[in-house]
Amino acid sequence: KIMNNVIKAYRDVGIIHGDLNEYNVILNPSDRKVYIIDWPQWIPRNHVLARKLLLRDIKYIGKFFKKKYGYQPIYPDII
């Protein structure tokens, strides 16, 4: 669900979070919806650093899941 939100932001809206990590993700336990917060540092998809920051965001989330849950997510090709 987190990666779906990252993909939607990138493909549909044309933005990248720029500082995505486990502290910027909220899971609502009642409906299991995922929310990504803290967007002030977002950048547009066509920014010179966009690809670098998107890959960094994805890497940080992957590290979190591997460390906390022993699960290494497989990411779709979103760029």
- Give pLDDT, residue 73: 66
Select 2-69's CATH number: 2.130.10.10, 3.40.1190.10, 2.40.110.10, 1.10.510.10.
1.10.510.10
Question: Which residues are known catalytic residues?
Answer: 19
What pLDDT sits at residue 33? 87
Tokens 């009642």 locate to: 30
Rounded to whole angstroms, the Cα distance separating 13 from 44 reads: 9
d(CA 25, CA 61): 9
Reported pTM:
0.76
9-60 tens-digit pLDDT: 999 999 999 999 889 999 888 998 889 999 999 999 999 999 999 989 988 8
- Of residues 10 and 76, more confidently modeled: 10
Domain residues of the chain, as ranges? 2-69
